[in-house]
Each structure stands twice: as structure tokens, then as C-alpha cells.
Structure 1
Amino acid sequence: MTALTNVLTGDSGDYTARHLSVLEGLEAVRKRPGMYIGSTDSRGLTHCLWEIVDNSVDEALGGHCDRVEVLLRADGSVEVRDNGRGIPIDVEPRSGLSGVELVMTKLHAGGKFGGGSYTASGGLHGVGASVVNALSARLDVEVDRDGATHEMSFRRGIPGRFAGIGPDAQFTAGSGLAKGKRVAKRVTGTRVRFWPDRQIFLAEAAIARGALLDRARQTAFLVPGLTLSIRDERPSDDGPYEEEFRFDGGIGEFCEHLAPDQPVCDVLRMQGAGSFTETVPVLDDQGHLTPAEVERELIVDIALRWGAGYDTVTRSFVNVIATPKGGTHVAGFERALVRTLNDLLRTTKILKASDEPITKEDALEGLTAVVTVRLPEPQFEGQTKEILGTAAASKIVSQVVGRELRAFLTSTKRVPKQQARTVLEKVAGAAKARLAARQHRENQRRKTALENSALPAKLVDCRNEGTDRSELFIVEGDSALGTAKLARDSEFQALLPIRGKILNVQKASLADMLKNAECAAIIQVLGAGSGRSFEIDAARYQRVILMADADVDGAHIRCLLLTLFYRYMRPMLEAGRVFAAVPPLHRIEITNPKKRQDKFIYTYSDAELHRRLTELTAAGLRWKDPVQRYKGLGEMDADQLAETTMDPRYRTLRRIRVEDAEGAAEVFNLLMGNEVAPRREFIVGGAAELDLSRIDA
């Protein structure tokens, strides 16, 4: 075994202590940056920026700062300014280093461990500033404190002096904080400017303005009274960009901002606190770590509201730090939500004793919630702080939510009482729709025609039972179906006709959608279920092709069908398996074709028709006048339909994708939702851009 190991490792000697490596100080960060910032691409670079910004926000949380500025410089550097207390400049006795040099060069050094400086903060591990310093080709710090500006610079974590501007200036190593110009005694603050080290970060790594603005807006919501200024000085066509955020309404205003639909109740604020004990290692007088019981206080602040829609928007935070993957605080919130709603639904008799209890999905349907907790030294899973692990948070949040939500749902005041009833009925309706959908799946789903003969009678199926090549054409109207039957390849092309315009599922409930014959037939034929239970691997057809007339009504039908797929069969869109057929608008019949030239030319728009006619005139070719214009699929014969729209060798298909689900949801809601006023504004606003000559009246 030893010989085999030596062969595999390429080592002919023994494994001894000389083979071991010890990474000292910031060397470990430069060797394994992914452990500290997640990656060395744009995401990791943005994480570095927010490590510095979060230190300034922590000052705001303590009431010592009300303005933070972020500047993206033209030379690739990033600067963060605040008017907080400033990093301590005095000497720390054990290390002999100034406070600035200590926090910038030593891992796990900061003012957030002992509890004397910050009761709650985003930075916890004391590695944020030092990690950014280690990964910067140059970092400059300026601290206004005690009537003067104190300055210090670093090169890849090593303190010293630069002879000029930028990371390529001559550098001389040397420790110590330099005292600069005098400032007024009352002026305090910190300025940190860093140039990312391109030896570490990828060449294309950059901070995206959109993501930066979203995070700044979010932070301003979470810290009422804090002004966050973003200035982007990087070269661009529109010049420097600047925007400020300040929201005094806090997370209540944030909840309204996030909500995608109309409310069915006012924003509810649930606030409370609880205490718990935690065993933590503490340094004693001899410098030894000994376990000690520490009393902690956890403050809960939650804003939520139910809306008329079906989507759920939940944001969770710990000390202003987003926890996109949740954690114990979110688990406690959801558990209390379900338990309290179930209790009140039974008490009010909206749910009978024989009815199934609601689930988390029912309670969250249409809910927008912002869940925040604040506590000293929370336990996170990793430096990126995406999941809260403090166990006590679950119980405390659950108690606060249960108490506050019960108070709202049992209120005797007229308006809150009406809203509470509406919320309970909405949640109960979501549960009934879920059960109806489950029943529908159990009754209707099938995998092949051999397993179940209950497919719609109007389906014209294909012979191939596999899904590698199979295609389902959803055809507008029975008239086009007859021609399509003759034009298709029956080996792999199936046809499902629909009568006119299907139900607008953006406005209808799930139960109404399932009752609609056309919608139910499409879901049944595809055979993969609907909604959250949709299983794309169970779909009977590889492609779904929407084949409608090339007119306004055909476009409307495609829009309605896409709404159905977007709401209830979205994985098909995300996988790129939904297409729109592109039938031609015109057919040009050439009366004197040249040798080996097609006698018929198809065009797909008026502009293309005019262009082709011009080309034919220039070539000396004549055509039969008037040019044939197709007003519907039924006007084509089978050969024409196959050649232009159905035969894979000649046809044109337009793939429908969902690249930006959030943006797509907004468009679908605008064009197909319940609210008429925004749609009217959209139509009126776009009326001036309409070419009146194209209206077929």
C-alpha cells in the first residue's frame, strides 16, 4: 500500500512534518479566496464591496451614522465613505498596532465580538475588511477622528506608502498610521478605497450597477433614516450615474415596494423580542478560552400583507444582512403562520372538522413578507451569511408571529375584521384549489394512450409513443384541423384543435381553469400535470407548437395559450420546448420563372413582400396579380401548409423562452391581469406609435 501511495503521489520518500504547510495571516485569504468571498468573479468582487459597506451600515444601526456613499471610480477602484465614528486610531495594547492596521491586517479582529461596541451588526467574524485588503492590489484608508485625518495604505495586505495614485505607483513597505490635515473636532467618518487585485479576480469581474442599486435600495429600507448614495463614474454612453436612497417607512414601506399585486389587507407589522442563553468561548485573564453562559436578546420585526395574486415574495434579513436561503428565523415564521391560520380557520368554521388542514403553500399564496431579526453575534452557515443557524431564533420568531397574527385575525374593529375574514377565505380558497388540482391530476393524468383511453376525442395523436421527436400542434379552429391532418407527418406530429380563444387564466382561479374544457384538454394531453406538481419528464411530447392564424386574433390566441403555459406549465417554457409556428402572409406566383427557380414565393410580412416584389421587378420577372394573401390557416391546401408551416425541412419556428421570469411576470400581469387602469395607460401611451395603415378595418 505504501509503495502504491508513493507511485500515485510521485513521492519516493516518507510523509513527514516537512511536507506540512502553514499559511500565516492574510496569505490564507490570497491562497483560498473562495472560502471567504465565494468566488473570484463578479459575484465575489461585489461581495468585497458589501463587506466594506456593511461596516458603515453597522455604524448606522448603532445610531452613529446617517449617510453612506459608494463611488465606482473610472480607474476601476471602489470607494466607500461614511460619517460614522471612524475606525479607532489608538494603539491596541496586546498587538502594538493601531486600530486601523489591526482591523485591516488581522483576521477575526474587530469591535463586534465583546458586545461593547455593537449590539447588532452585519459583520460578525472580523474578517470582512482584512479579506478585502488581502485581495486588493491597493487599499487606502482615511479616518476623520480627534480633529485630524489619519491615513494608511496597503499593498495586497501589507502596510506601507505609495508615491503616487493607483496600484502601480512606487510602494515602500512600513507600518504605522500617518496624521494628515486637521479637521473640525465634530467631524468623524471613514473612507476606504480599494483597487481589486487582478491576480486574484477574473479579468471580466465587475460590479453590476443594477445589482448594486437593488442592494442599496434594500438596505435603505431596512435602516430607516439612513441615506445611501451610489455614484458610478465608470466610462459609459450616458456619463456618470448617481442615485440616492432614503426610506423613513422602514420594512413596512419595503413590503409595499416588493408586493406584485393589489392588497387584500393592510401591511401588518409584527414586532417583539425574546431572550435566550448561549454558551460561547470567552478569553479569561490568562488568555485561555473557557465556556461561559451569555444572555442574548433577539428583536423581531416583520412586515407582511396578503395580495389578490398567487405569487409569494419573501425576504429575510439578520442585522440588515440578507439571508436568501432562509434559516431558523424563516422556519419559525412559516411554522407560526400555518399553525395560527389553521387554528383560526377551524374557530371561524371556514374549515370544517372533516376538511384537511392548510399547508405552508396555502398560507404563502399571495403573501409578501419581510422578516428581520436583530441579535448580537448570530450563528451563520459560512462567511457568505446566506442561512441563519441560531436555533433560538425559530422559537422566538414563532412566538411573536403567533401572538401578533392572532391579534389581527381576531380583531373586533370593523376594517381589520373585514380584512381578516378576507385573508382567511383567501387561504382556505388556496387550500381548496390545491386539493382540486390534486384530484384533477389523479383523475386526468396519464402517460400513454394505451394506459388510458380518456384522452379528448378531438386529439389526433401520432403513432410514435416516444418523446424524442414527437410534436404537439395546438391548432386554432376545426377548419385548419382538416388541412393540418393531411399536411402533418403522422409518425411524430399530433394535433389538438381549440375552439377560438381559451380562458384568460391570469384573471381566473385555478378551479375555473380546471373547469375550462380547452385548458383541461391541453393539460390532459400533455400528461405532465400542472402548477407546482408539473413534471416535465412526464410530458408526452418533446415540443409544443402553437399554430394560429397570422392575424390579430391569432396573436391574441397565442398570448392566451402562453399565459396558460407560463402560469401552470412554466418548466416547458424554461426548457425551450414551446414554439410558435410562423405561417406565411402572402404567396407570390411567378408567371415566367427561370430555370430551377421556384414558381411560388412565400413572404411573412408586408415589408418582406414589398422587398421581394422589388427584387422580382429588377430581375425582369412577372407575377400573377393580385398577390394571394392568407387570412387564415384554413385557406391553405395541405401541400402549402406542410411546405410553409409544418414540414421540419422548410418551416420556421419561433422558440418561446422565459429568460427573465420576474420581468415576464410583470408583462403578463399588465396585459392579462385584473387591473384595467395600467393596461389602459399602456394602450394609450403606445397609441402614438401605431401605424394606422396597418389596421385591417
Structure 2
Amino acid sequence: MAQPTPDAYSARHLSVLDGLEAVRKRPGMYIGSTDSRGLMHCLWEIIDNSVDEALGGHGDRIGVHLHPDGSVTVSDRGRGVPVDIEPKTGLSGVEVVFTKLHAGGKFGADNYGAAGGLHGVGASVVNALSERLDVEVDRGGRTYAMSFRRGEPGHFEDGADGPRPDAPFTPYTEHSELRVVGKVAKGVTGTRVRYWADPQIFIRGAEFKADELAARARQTAFLVPGLDMVIEDGRSDDAAPEVQSFRYDGGITEFAEYLAPDAPSTDTWRIQGEGTYEETVPVLDEHGHMVSTDVKRTMHVDIAMRWGVGYDTTLRSFVNIIATPKGGTHVTGFEQGLLKFFRAEVERNARRLKVGNDKLEKDDVLAGLTVVVTVRLPEPQFEGQTKEVLGTPPVRAIVARELTKGLTAKFASTSRQDKAEASLLLDKVVSEMKSRISARAHKETQRRKNALENSSLPTKLVDCRSNDVARSELFIVEGDSALGTAKPARNSDYQALLPIRGKILNVQKASISDMLGNAECASIIQVIGAGSGRSFDLGAARYGKVILMSDADVDGAHIRTLLLTLIFRYMRPLLDDGRVYAAVPPLHRVVVINPGSKPNETIYTYSETELQTLLAKLRKQNKRYQDPIQRYKGLGEMDEDQLWTTTMDPSARLLRRVSISDAAAAEQMFNLLMGTEVAPRKEFIIDGSKDITPQLIDM
């Protein structure tokens, strides 16, 4: 067939490619990257669609074949992609699934009770990022076929050597054609998808990793008992395809035993349960409108866990068989429930275990634990298409409750073996706790002793006396004037002071050698005492809190930003652990004049709005105040009592904890505000300048 002319480009092409073009322009948003990792993610999307069919009880075999030409075929024995016409679009179900974003059978509860592919973009994203994609569907006694080139449906004119992505292609201009290419026996159903990744999208050298594929197939076979996962690697022309087959009928119990790195201290405990919750979700009504509806959900929890003689923790978590390597609410619920249960058990057996007032921590209980946490629920809320973090809030409480229920039954069992394992386990976690406390006490004593005796510490450091790292605080103060006030104001038992001169180096622009050569940056790293960069050791930090105390003006905000840039770049674990704070000194001091011999009242306000609200309240109450009102421009303007009361006293001060809820967004903002490229920062300032007023700067 002849290639289509430019005149044949019609509005129909626009409707098909409108959404998929966005995928091609920003592939990282959907698959994470365009290297081998992104290539594998596309393959997982297609495989997971087949696995969802198996989860629903449709089909017990999934095959993955890697071809010598770089393409891959995924086949299953599921129900097959629908081939009838979807009424809203007038397209076949196959074309809808493979060309429309957010389309599929997993948005409602009727087709899939619990599925891994929930955003309705997996198949269409793979199609958009493929140079060619062929799909065959066995359904209703026939085999249907359809082909796509970079997301656009059409027809390839293949030669005798078989299908090729560079074969002549003719797109459909008026109506699509779902071809009938064969017949199958009655009752035979399934789907076969073969695609060639687009070299225009993926970088050179991106390839399917056979070992990762085998590991994922093995993992899936563990999570779906009775499912055959068959992997054929036929990329070598000189040898027969290498075939690996996985099937496990024991489920996640076998998975936990497979993952365990050490000999067992307990048997593998299996805890199963379910819970219900309600959530408000948009649902299509009979008129096609999205309506917020309260929906009752049922969630299943399945946990396999065993403790070994070692100390390493192996935790794998899954949602509808999709791995969540960064955890989520199900992992949070498991860890919180586990810690709460063991704390209660240790407290109940405190006399036998001789624990005193010491408290278990999470690492004490997780030491030597191998656990697989799986939950199945309809329409889980993942953070992003890569589905690495589960965000559905009610899951946490349900997992914690079902875990507690299962562990309570295990510890209350009258079985001799269960009693022996429960007693052994309590001894193990208490031993971990005592070792941790002993090691920490020794480490902190030695660290503080060595640091204080080390003459390399900056002479301007005004240290504290306490050896308790968790209680100690380091105030990084702006200038000698603030130091002069803060030194007599502080509690020298646990509050240390480090003054810095003006604005430190902008480390976002500077090299590592420049940063280490800067006196102020080097002093801060030395005083905190935990190193920098990849070698940063949070456990070696000398202070439990690092508090940035700068003036309440524009220069003070700039200095605080520079300090945060240093911490973000070279001491990020301090932020992740919630140890970094910004002091919030007051802006105004209002002295309310009381009548008679009653002493005057001093009130501090922290913004212009708060000040005006206070003054209006005083006038309404017919109370007088000293005029003019004192406006603090710097910390040095306060006397020691005022600074202690407003900014340093733990019982009265206001601190703002600096945290990173989204490291990628934070890094992007630091690059914008503090990086080497001036043009984006200039554009940001110009765009935001229209919203800035003198009053807003003073708030």
C-alpha cells in the first residue's frame, strides 16, 4: 500500500493522537524514565493487565516471549479485550483500550473487584510509546486483530519475513477496522499483545532485562497461587529459547520462606482478614455526569511473616499484586500495629523480661523479620502511574487492626509450639532493645566527649553541657549582635549557639570543593558532626534539633534559604528525620497599659494582620497601649528576657518544622530559586511580582 499523503491527515487522527501525543512528549510522567527501567515498566503494564484477568478467575497461564527483533509478546487466557462497539466513542473496545487515556474496565466495581491497573492508561501509554503494536483477541469463536503505529490505528503491509515495525503503514482515515483473522474453538478466549518499543522515545541501549523479568514473574506466581508464569527469551538466534516457568500453590507463605535470608526462629505466620470503609468517589450517573458518591469498600488483608536468627529486615508490600517498593498506608499500618502490639505484650510481661521503663522502637521488632504484606481493594489511590506508594487513608487502620487481631490469637494460643515461639520472640525483641540502648548510650558519650575535646571545632561555637543528643538544640544565629543577646538568654544546659556572618555561600551554584572551602559552611558541617553528602551519618549528629534563627526581614529570609539549601544538598537526612526548624521571632511588641498599680501587659504579634487584629480588639475594649509600637527588625534589638520568652523557651516559643513531603518538587524549587540558570528565576520573579505588596512583605 502507498504511504498516506499529507492531505489524508484528517480530524480523526487528531482525536486519536490528542491524548497520546502528551504521552510521547512527556513519557517520564507515565513510565518514570526512557531507559531500560521505563522499557520494563511498559512491559509490566501489559503483564499486569493479564494478571488482573487471572486475579478475577479468568485464565491460569500467562506467557511472555522476548523476540530476536527486540519486540515482546504477552499472551493470556483471560476473557479477551471486548470487541463490540463502545457506544460513547463509536469505536471497538480494542481501539478504546489502546488509544484512549483513562479508559478501560477497571473504573467500576463490576468487572474487577481488585486490580493492579487502575488508571486506565497502561495499555494506551504502551501503545503511544511503541513503534508498532499488534493485538489479537480470541473471543466468541473468532480471532480479531488490530495494529497501531505510534498509537495510531491502521494497516501494516507485512512481507513474507513476518511483521516488522518499518513495514509500509496506512492509517485509517474514516473508520477503523477490527479485522477477523481466524477462528478458535468455542469457549477459547484470551489476548495476545506484541509491540516494538519506539527508538524515538527510548534511549539507545535500553533493553528488556531477563533477570528482572524472571524475578517479577516469580513474584507474581507467589502472589497468585495456581497461576503459571512462563518466560521465553528467544533473543539469541543461535540457540533455542530459554524457557522459565513459575508456579506456587502456597502463595505468600512460600514467598516469605523464599525471601528469608536466615534460619527461622519461628514458623511462617499467616494472618488474613478483611475490613470495610467508605470513601467519596466521582461516579458516572445515567446521564454521563460525574457525581460524588459515598461508596462502601471491602478490603482484604493477607500477611505472611516469620522471624529468623539474623538481624536484617526483609519487607515486601503489594496492592492487588502490584509491588509498592516505597510503601504506603498499608506498610504504615503494619509497622504501627506491630509496634503497638509488641509494646503492649512487653509491658504485660515486664517483670519477666526486666525491661523497666524502656520502650521498644520499630527497629527492635523488625530485626530478623521477613514479611510479605498484601492488600486487595477496589480502586486504590496510588501516587502516580508508577504505583510505588499506596495513598488510600483507611487502609492503615484496617491493616493495623487485622494484624493485631491475628497476633493476639497467636499469642493467646494454647499450643505448646505457639507458646514457645511467642516467648522466644519476646525475648528476641527485648534483647534488641537493650542492645540498642546500650550501644546508643556508649556512642553518644564517646561522640560528645571526642567532639568537645577536638580543637578543630570552631572557636565561635557556644556549646551546651548536656550529653543527651535527643534533648540538645543547636541555634544557628545571624551575626554577632544576635549572638550577644542569645548567649545570656539561652539555657546553657541543652542549647548551643553557632553564629554565622551574613549570607553564606549559595551551594546550589558552587562546587563541593568551594562549599568545603567556605568557612561558614565548613563550620556548620563540623559542628553538626555527621559529615556531608553520601557519607552523612544521621546517627552521628550531635544535636536533636537544628534551629535556624534569623532576623524577621528580607535578608533574614534569604539567609534562612541559603542555610536550607546547604542542609538540603549535603545533610538531607536531617530534613527527612524532622530535625530542622526555623525559629519564628515576633515582629511587634505591644505594651498594654493597665490602670492603677496593675503591671502593664506585654503582647507579641507575628504578622501585620495579627497586629491590626490585636489593636482593633484593644480599642474595642477601651484599653490603652504604648505608642509607637516597637517593630523588631532584628534579633539584636531584643533584650535577653524578650528573646528567651518569645523565641528560645520551649514552653512558649513558636518553631516551624522544615520537612520534605515531595523531594522531587523541593529539588525543583531549589534549582529554580538558587540554581545557575538565571532566566527561569527571573521569569518566576516577574510572574510573582504582581502579587507582592509592601504590606505582604511585612506580614
Which has the larger displacement, 422-431 or 233-242?
A: 233-242
- Cα offsets for 1:448-501 (capped at 9, x unmatched): 598179xxxxxxxxxx999xxxxxxxxxxxxxxxxxxxxxxxxxxxxxxxxxxx
- Which secondary structure state, in structure 2, belongs to the residue aligned with residue 25 of structure 1? helix
| Number of the residue aligned with 2:363 | 361
Distance in 2 separating the partners of 1:318 and 1:214: 17
State the 1:239 CA deviation.
5.5
Contact 2:361 2:433 in 1 (8 A): yes
| Number of the residue aligned with 2:393 | 391
| Number of the residue aligned with 1:441 | 443
Distance in 1 separating the partners of 2:373 and 2:102: 28
Contact 2:68 2:237 in 1 (8 A): no
Distance in 1 separating the partners of 2:436 and 2:267: 26
Contact 2:338 2:404 in 1 (8 A): yes
State the 1:238 CA deviation.
6.6
| Number of the residue aligned with 1:192 | 193
> What code does the residue aligned with 1:109 have?
A
Distance in 2 separating the partners of 1:381 and 1:266: 35
- Give the direction of change, closer, same or farther, for the CA distance of 1:353–1:537 in structure 2 (3 Å limit): closer
Contact 1:410 1:420 in 2 (8 A): no
- 1:430 has 2:424 as partner: no
Report 1:459-538 matches (<5 A): 535=537
Distance in 2 separating the partners of 1:534 and 1:426: 30
Report 1:41-60 matches (<5 A): 41-60=35-54
> What code does the residue aligned with 1:146 have?
G
- Which secondary structure state, in structure 1, belongs to the residue aligned with residue 188 of structure 2? coil
- Which secondary structure state, in structure 2, belongs to the residue aligned with residue 26 of structure 1? helix
Alignment counterpart, residue 33 of structure 2, candidates 25, 30, 39? 39
TM-score by length of 1: 0.62
| Number of the residue aligned with 1:373 | 375
| Number of the residue aligned with 1:152 | 146
Distance in 1 separating the partners of 2:46 and 2:407: 37
| Number of the residue aligned with 1:65 | 59
> What code does the residue aligned with 2:170 have?
T
Distance in 2 separating the partners of 1:341 and 1:322: 27
| Number of the residue aligned with 1:229 | 230
- Which secondary structure state, in structure 2, belongs to the residue aligned with residue 433 of structure 1? helix
> What code does the residue aligned with 1:81 have?
S
- Cα offsets for 1:610-634 (capped at 9, x unmatched): xxxxxxxxxxxxxxxxxxxxxxxxx
- Which secondary structure state, in structure 2, belongs to the residue aligned with residue 24 of structure 1? helix
- Give the direction of change, closer, same or farther, for the CA distance of 1:332–1:537 in structure 2 (3 Å limit): closer
> What code does the residue aligned with 2:148 have?
F
| Number of the residue aligned with 1:170 | 168
State the 1:447 CA deviation.
7.3
Which has the larger displacement, 405-414 or 71-80?
A: 405-414
Contact 1:346 1:352 in 2 (8 A): no
Query: Over aligned residue pairs, what C-alpha RMSD do you find?
Result: 2.5
| Number of the residue aligned with 1:123 | 117
Contact 1:88 1:100 in 2 (8 A): yes
Which has the larger displacement, 319-328 or 351-360?
A: 351-360
Between the two proteins, what is the percent identity of the paired residues?
61
- Give the direction of change, closer, same or farther, for the CA distance of 1:29–1:199 in structure 2 (3 Å limit): same
> What code does the residue aligned with 1:41 have?
D
Contact 1:120 1:319 in 2 (8 A): yes
Distance in 2 separating the partners of 1:465 and 1:294: 61
> What code does the residue aligned with 2:407 have?
L
State the 1:176 CA deviation.
1.7
Gaps of 5+ in 1: 1-21, 454-463, 467-526, 540-697
- Cα offsets for 1:518-539 (capped at 9, x unmatched): xxxxxxxxx989xxx9939979
> What code does the residue aligned with 1:279 have?
T
| Number of the residue aligned with 1:404 | 406
> What code does the residue aligned with 1:107 have?
L
TM-score by length of 2: 0.61
| Number of the residue aligned with 2:517 | none
Distance in 2 separating the partners of 1:329 and 1:537: 27
Distance in 2 separating the partners of 1:415 and 1:312: 24
- 1:420 has 2:422 as partner: yes
Distance in 2 separating the partners of 1:60 and 1:143: 16
Contact 1:344 1:409 in 2 (8 A): no
Alignment counterpart, residue 97 of structure 1, candidates 88, 91, 106? 91
State the 1:442 CA deviation.
2.2
The number of equivalent residue pairs is: 447
Distance in 2 separating the partners of 1:238 and 1:285: 57
- Cα offsets for 1:91-146 (capped at 9, x unmatched): 11111111111100100110001111000000001000000000000000000110
| Number of the residue aligned with 1:303 | 304
Contact 2:447 2:540 in 1 (8 A): no
Contact 2:17 2:152 in 1 (8 A): no
- Which secondary structure state, in structure 2, belongs to the residue aligned with residue 234 of structure 1? coil
- Give the direction of change, closer, same or farther, for the CA distance of 1:449–1:125 in structure 2 (3 Å limit): closer
Gaps of 5+ in 2: 1-15, 459-528, 542-699
Contact 1:448 1:465 in 2 (8 A): no
- Give the direction of change, closer, same or farther, for the CA distance of 1:327–1:465 in structure 2 (3 Å limit): closer
> What code does the residue aligned with 1:345 have?
V
Contact 2:141 2:184 in 1 (8 A): yes
| Number of the residue aligned with 1:204 | 205
Contact 1:273 1:396 in 2 (8 A): yes
> What code does the residue aligned with 1:166 have?
R
- Give the direction of change, closer, same or farther, for the CA distance of 1:534–1:151 in structure 2 (3 Å limit): closer
- Which secondary structure state, in structure 2, belongs to the residue aligned with residue 111 of structure 1? coil
| Number of the residue aligned with 1:109 | 103
- Which secondary structure state, in structure 2, belongs to the residue aligned with residue 382 of structure 1? coil
| Number of the residue aligned with 1:616 | none
Contact 1:447 1:538 in 2 (8 A): no
State the 1:286 CA deviation.
2.4
- Give the direction of change, closer, same or farther, for the CA distance of 1:313–1:75 in structure 2 (3 Å limit): same
Contact 1:281 1:291 in 2 (8 A): yes
